[in-house]
Chain A
């Protein structure tokens, strides 16, 4: 990490498929433009770097007021009723739909995106407190995660950086 280079830091706290992408897209763009990038995973955000979870992130239609039938080609502003959203298979359906849309745009899956980021020089860290809380170990995480760090470590390593909480 070079001195006086612009440094962008993302804190990923969510494990839903839709909330996985903001840091990946912006982090990748930042690397492409020559910035230093650090991503810190905490709470449900740890799902993004867990070997057993990264390929199984989902998006649920329940209580998601922005997810409209128009994504499925139904015109207008019709939502997916919460009562339907709770039916078995609806989360899998919404997830498959989002993955298909992403694939059409040639957006890589989360695992591949993280590999690209690491190859491009991004530094990935896991939050110690939530790692302990969930009973996880270093070997539970994908390759490329540098370390499990404390909140204090995080504050030290992000001095002068621009921090984006997701």
Chain B
């Protein structure tokens, strides 16, 4: 196990804590404005209601379980087909969803 280095950065006018991979480390610092900015950094120009449905599910699930949900969990629990997840968050939905939702990387493998 490596210890992670936590730094701060400013996103959407707010100073937040992030790890070396750019994941926010304190979910309570997250705002919807931050999500919009982080999405742009991940190449998603606009967050549609479909994106928000997934982000909000992840926020709620992480608050309940203590960890960012895996793609399969999002797909099953939020009722979003795998294809949709990859369409909405292209090139790496597992990381992108968690990052935009202000959560750490998913802990599960599936």
Partner-B contacts on A (CB < 8 A): 5, 25, 28-29, 31-35, 105-108, 115-116, 119-121
Cα(A35)–Cα(B109), bound, Å: 15
Known: A31-B92, A34-B96. 17 other contacts (CB 8 A): A25-B109, A25-B110, A28-B109, A32-B71, A32-B92, A32-B106, A34-B91, A35-B92, A105-B110, A106-B72, A106-B73, A108-B110, A116-B72, A116-B75, A116-B82, A120-B71, A120-B83
How far does the Cβ of B53 sit from chain A's closest Cβ, in whole Å?
18
Cα(A57)–Cα(B100), bound, Å: 39
Which residues of chain B are near A108, meaning CB under 8 Å? 72, 110
Main secondary structure of the interface of A (DSSP, over half): loop
Give the A-B pair count, Cβ closer than 8 A: 46
**Which B residues between 83 and 110 are near A, CB-CB below 8 angstroms?**
83, 85-86, 91-96, 106, 108-110
Q: A28-B110, A29-B109, A108-B72 are in contact. Are A34 and B82 (CB under 8 A)?
A: no
A32 touches B93 (CB 8 A): yes
Cα(A25)–Cα(B110), bound, Å: 7
Which residues of chain A are near B66, meaning CB under 8 Å? none
Main secondary structure of the interface of B (DSSP, over half): helix
A31 touches B110 (CB 8 A): no
Which chain A residue has the least Cβ–Cβ distance from B71? A32
Cα(A30)–Cα(B83), bound, Å: 15
A120 touches B109 (CB 8 A): no
B86 touches A106 (CB 8 A): no
B70-82 interface bits toward A, Cβ cutoff 8 Å, 1 = contact, 0 = none: 0111010000011
B110 touches A119 (CB 8 A): no
How far does the Cβ of A4 sit from chain B's closest Cβ, in whole Å?
12
Which chain B residue has the least Cβ–Cβ distance from A105? B110
